[in-house]
Amino acid sequence: MKKKLIGLMLLALVLVLVACGGNEDVTEIENQSGDNVSSSEVNLVASNWDFDEDTYIADAGDVTFNLTNEEGHHGIMIDGTDVEIDGEGSARASLEPGEYTIYCSIPCGEGHDDMEATLVVE
């Protein structure tokens, strides 16, 4: 993870030196590394009876999950992982690339069974 970041920084530095005055390239690299940092964190917002996204995407490795309840009282558990949050809070796990299913972990009412989302770890 850190090696990747250092690699990106070196690449950005080389591009800055090579493309002297080419501002567009520099901006692109900055955006790229910004995305990489933020995708190790997954923010979920639960309401009655849905999550705010159908699919969440994260980088393989350590991923932090943050759950907020916008409406109702919900939790999450993620199939094949130790991740479980009851109500609001955070959990962290080291994840291999793959596709996982996120479920609501709290019987929250009539739409509980529909509360599913997909997590894609790349």
Residues that bind Cu ion (CB under 5 A): 104, 106, 108, 112, 115
Query: Which lies closer to Cu ion via its Cβ, residue 115 or residue 117?
Result: 115
In one letter, which amino acid is 41?
E
Pick the closer one to Cu ion by CB: 15 or 103: 103
For the chain, percent helix, then strand, then coil, each to nearest 5? Answer: 30, 40, 35
Q: E-strand spans in the chain?
A: 41-47, 50-51, 55-58, 61-69, 76-78, 84-85, 89-95, 98-103, 116-121
CB of 30 to Cu ion, least distance (A): 39
- Given the complex with Cu ion, which of 106 and 117 has the nearer CB atom? 106
Largest CA distance in the chain: 60
The smaller minimum CB distance to Cu ion, of residues 36 and 118, is found at 118
Look up residue 50 and give its two tokens. 């849905």
Question: What is the closest distance, in whole angstroms, from the C-beta atom of residue 67 to Cu ion in the complex?
Answer: 12
Tell the smallest beta-carbon distance from residue 98 to Cu ion (Å). 24
Question: Considering the complex, what minimum distance in angstroms separates the CB of residue 1 from Cu ion?
Answer: 33
